[in-house]
Amino acid sequence: MLDLLVLVVRRDLVLAMRRRTDVLTTLIFFVMVVSLFPLGVGPELEMLRKMAPGVLWVAALLASMLSLGRLFSADYLDGTLEQMMLAPQSLSMLVLGKITAHWMVSGLPLVLLAPVLGLQFDMSARAIGVLIVGLMLGTPVLSMLGAIGAALTLGLRGGGVLLSLLVLPLCIPVLIFGTGAVGAISSGLSIASHMSLLGALLVMALVFTPWVTAQALRISME
Residues that bind another protein (CB under 8 A): 148, 152-153, 156-158, 162, 165-166, 168-170, 172-173, 176-177, 180, 183-184, 197, 201, 212, 215-216, 219-220, 222
Phi, psi at residue 72, to the nearest 5°? -115, -15
CB of 182 to another protein, least distance (A): 12
Cα 184 from Cα 180, distance rounded (Å): 6
Q: Which is nearer to another protein, 60 or 217 (CB)?
A: 217
Which residues have CB under 8 Å from 158's CB, separation 6+? Answer: none
How far are the Cα atoms of 27, 209, 217, 218 from residue 84, in angstroms, in the given order? 29, 18, 11, 11
Which residue in 121, 170, 116, 109 sits closest to 142, CA to CA? 170
Q: Which is nearer to another protein, 120 or 186 (CB)?
A: 186
Q: Which is nearer to another protein, 115 or 159 (CB)?
A: 159
CB of 119 to another protein, least distance (A): 26
Which residue in 129, 104, 116, 102 sits closest to 195, CA to CA? 129
Q: Which is nearer to another protein, 113 or 152 (CB)?
A: 152
Q: Which is nearer to another protein, 12 or 179 (CB)?
A: 179
CB of 56 to another protein, least distance (A): 17
Cα 63 from Cα 168, distance rounded (Å): 12
CB of 222 to another protein, least distance (A): 7
CB of 72 to another protein, least distance (A): 14
